[in-house]
Protein backbone atom coordinates (compact mmCIF):
# COMPACT_ATOMS: atom_id res chain seq x y z
CA UNK A 1 0.00 0.00 0.00
CA UNK A 2 1.44 3.36 -1.01
CA UNK A 3 0.06 6.60 0.35
CA UNK A 4 1.92 9.87 0.24
CA UNK A 5 1.27 13.56 0.69
CA UNK A 6 1.31 15.96 -2.25
CA UNK A 7 2.03 19.53 -1.19
CA UNK A 8 0.88 22.66 -2.98
CA UNK A 9 2.30 26.14 -2.49
CA UNK A 10 -0.24 28.28 -0.68
CA UNK A 11 -0.87 31.99 -1.16
CA UNK A 12 -1.33 34.44 0.31
CA UNK A 13 0.94 33.87 3.28
CA UNK A 14 -1.00 34.79 6.42
CA UNK A 15 1.16 35.93 9.38
CA UNK A 16 0.06 34.35 12.66
CA UNK A 17 2.71 35.16 15.31
CA UNK A 18 1.19 32.47 17.56
CA UNK A 19 3.30 31.09 20.45
CA UNK A 20 3.01 27.37 21.23
CA UNK A 21 4.59 24.75 23.48
CA UNK A 22 5.32 21.49 21.65
CA UNK A 23 6.06 17.98 22.93
CA UNK A 24 6.78 14.93 20.80
CA UNK A 25 4.49 11.91 20.48
CA UNK A 26 6.84 9.83 18.30
CA UNK A 27 8.38 7.01 20.35
CA UNK A 28 11.75 7.87 18.76
CA UNK A 29 11.63 11.55 19.82
CA UNK A 30 9.48 11.41 22.97
CA UNK A 31 12.55 11.87 25.20
CA UNK A 32 13.19 15.36 23.79
CA UNK A 33 12.10 18.13 26.16
CA UNK A 34 9.07 20.29 25.44
CA UNK A 35 10.04 23.40 23.54
CA UNK A 36 8.55 26.68 22.47
CA UNK A 37 7.69 27.58 18.90
CA UNK A 38 6.29 30.66 17.25
CA UNK A 39 4.13 29.98 14.21
CA UNK A 40 4.97 32.61 11.62
CA UNK A 41 2.99 32.01 8.40
CA UNK A 42 1.42 29.35 6.21
CA UNK A 43 3.39 27.88 3.28
CA UNK A 44 1.71 24.78 1.83
CA UNK A 45 -1.37 22.59 1.82
CA UNK A 46 -0.50 18.87 1.80
CA UNK A 47 -3.14 16.29 0.85
CA UNK A 48 -3.06 12.48 0.68
CA UNK A 49 -2.49 10.76 -2.67
CA UNK A 50 -2.28 7.16 -3.88
CA UNK A 51 1.04 6.21 -5.45
CA UNK A 52 1.18 3.92 -8.49
CA UNK A 53 -2.55 3.11 -8.37
CA UNK A 54 -2.16 0.79 -5.41
CA UNK A 55 -5.37 -0.38 -3.77
CA UNK A 56 -5.97 1.15 -0.34
CA UNK A 57 -8.11 -0.97 2.03
CA UNK A 58 -11.44 0.83 2.67
CA UNK A 59 -10.87 1.13 6.44
CA UNK A 60 -7.50 2.80 5.85
CA UNK A 61 -8.85 4.99 3.05
CA UNK A 62 -11.66 6.22 5.32
CA UNK A 63 -9.01 7.64 7.68
CA UNK A 64 -6.25 8.93 5.40
CA UNK A 65 -8.57 10.62 2.90
CA UNK A 66 -9.28 13.22 5.61
CA UNK A 67 -5.65 14.05 6.41
CA UNK A 68 -5.32 17.51 4.86
CA UNK A 69 -2.41 19.33 6.49
CA UNK A 70 -1.40 22.97 6.33
CA UNK A 71 2.34 23.55 6.68
CA UNK A 72 3.52 26.60 8.62
CA UNK A 73 6.95 28.07 9.11
CA UNK A 74 7.95 28.21 12.76
CA UNK A 75 10.73 29.77 14.80
CA UNK A 76 12.14 27.53 17.55
CA UNK A 77 15.26 27.42 19.66
CA UNK A 78 17.80 24.79 18.54
CA UNK A 79 17.57 21.35 20.12
CA UNK A 80 19.90 20.74 23.08
CA UNK A 81 21.84 18.38 20.79
CA UNK A 82 21.43 17.40 17.15
CA UNK A 83 19.28 14.27 16.80
CA UNK A 84 20.59 11.71 14.30
CA UNK A 85 18.20 9.19 12.79
CA UNK A 86 18.34 6.39 10.22
CA UNK A 87 15.38 6.46 7.83
CA UNK A 88 14.20 3.58 5.64
CA UNK A 89 11.41 3.85 3.09
CA UNK A 90 8.17 1.98 3.78
CA UNK A 91 6.67 2.85 0.41
CA UNK A 92 7.32 -0.01 -2.06
CA UNK A 93 7.93 2.53 -4.86
CA UNK A 94 11.03 3.65 -2.93
CA UNK A 95 11.87 0.41 -1.09
CA UNK A 96 14.94 -0.22 -3.27
CA UNK A 97 16.63 2.93 -1.96
CA UNK A 98 19.27 2.54 0.75
CA UNK A 99 18.67 3.81 4.30
CA UNK A 100 19.27 7.53 4.80
CA UNK A 101 20.91 9.30 7.71
CA UNK A 102 19.07 12.42 8.83
CA UNK A 103 20.28 15.02 11.33
CA UNK A 104 17.72 17.18 13.09
CA UNK A 105 19.34 20.33 14.54
CA UNK A 106 16.05 22.25 14.95
CA UNK A 107 12.45 22.38 13.82
CA UNK A 108 11.52 24.69 10.95
CA UNK A 109 7.94 23.78 10.09
CA UNK A 110 4.76 22.60 11.74
CA UNK A 111 1.93 20.79 9.96
CA UNK A 112 -1.59 21.14 11.30
CA UNK A 113 -4.76 19.32 10.21
CA UNK A 114 -7.34 21.50 8.47
CA UNK A 115 -10.87 21.21 7.15
CA UNK A 116 -10.74 21.86 3.40
CA UNK A 117 -13.72 23.74 1.91
CA UNK A 118 -15.58 23.19 5.19
CA UNK A 119 -15.40 19.37 4.98
CA UNK A 120 -14.77 18.18 8.52
CA UNK A 121 -13.58 14.58 9.06
CA UNK A 122 -16.24 12.23 10.48
CA UNK A 123 -15.93 11.25 14.11
Residue boundaries of the structural domains of the chain? 3-76+108-113
Number of C-beta neighbours around residue 3 at 10 A: 17
User: 116 and 87 in contact (C-beta within 8 Å)?
Assistant: no
Element (H, E) at 58: helix 58-64
User: pTM (2 decimals)?
Assistant: 0.84
pLDDT at 8 over 90: yes
pLDDT at 79 over 90: no
User: 67 and 50 in contact (C-beta within 8 Å)?
Assistant: no
Mean pLDDT over the full length of the chain: 91
Residue 100, SS3 per DSSP: strand
Amino acid sequence: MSIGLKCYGETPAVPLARALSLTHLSPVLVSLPAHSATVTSNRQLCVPVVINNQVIPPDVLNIVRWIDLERYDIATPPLPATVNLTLTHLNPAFGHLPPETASLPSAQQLMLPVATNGLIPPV
